Amino acid sequence: MKLPREFYLRDGLTVARELIGKKLVTNLSEKVTGGIIVETEAYMGTLDAAAHSYRGKTERTKIFFGAGGFVYVYLIYGMHICTNVVANVENIPEAVLIRALEPVDGVELMKVRRGNKNLRELCSGPGKLSQAMGITKNFYGADLCGEEIFIETTENFSVEVKATKRINVDYAGAAADYLWRFVAADNAFLSVK
């Protein structure tokens, strides 16, 4: 069952933790791919020096300032798309980076998109999972309650969720030490152990 808008209209830390074990799905030109979310990071707006929205609203970050349940994508290193879920209510600019998935649906298509046959390597990082799922910069602002990209509940995926420091945010001062990365404990598909 697709997650309702209300799921996303909560604080980013709650959304980030509760996304672990849910399934991210893309449905593009009748080609469905999906993976269980096993790693996320919360970015808490004006409270968080690591968040893109920390310094306020810009053309790039305006999506953060709307209601939760929409997609924020951006390019890193000039080549990799990162996929984020906007959280909370209007004017509280929080988001959740999806860092890793355990591939479950459309795996052969994911392998083609990634040019990689190693199941463990398909979605074990934000750029990798975006490529495997067919997510491009055109997904900026996409509605997670729509039909092209959405998140579903899962059955029989019970896991211990652990909190750790986020990855590659050393520039963020004290915020680099916040335990705002959530992982499915001992999952083989994490981006970083």
Percent of residues, the chain, with pLDDT higher than 90: 85
pLDDT at 192: 86
- Contact indicator for 160, 154 with CB cutoff of 8 Å: no
Query: DSSP label at 9?
Result: S
- pLDDT band for position 59 (cuts 50, 70, 90): confident
Compute the residue count for the chain: 193
- The amino acid occupying position 151 is I
pLDDT at 28: 94
Q: What is the pTM of this model?
A: 0.95
Of residues 95, 75, 69, the one with CA closest to residue 84: 95
In tens, the pLDDT along 108-137 reads: 999 999 999 999 999 999 999 999 999 999
Domains located in the chain, CATH noted: 5-184 (3.10.300.10)
As a whole number, mean pLDDT of residues 87-105 equals 97
pLDDT at 161 > cutoff 90: yes
pLDDT at 150 > cutoff 80: yes
pLDDT at 114: 96
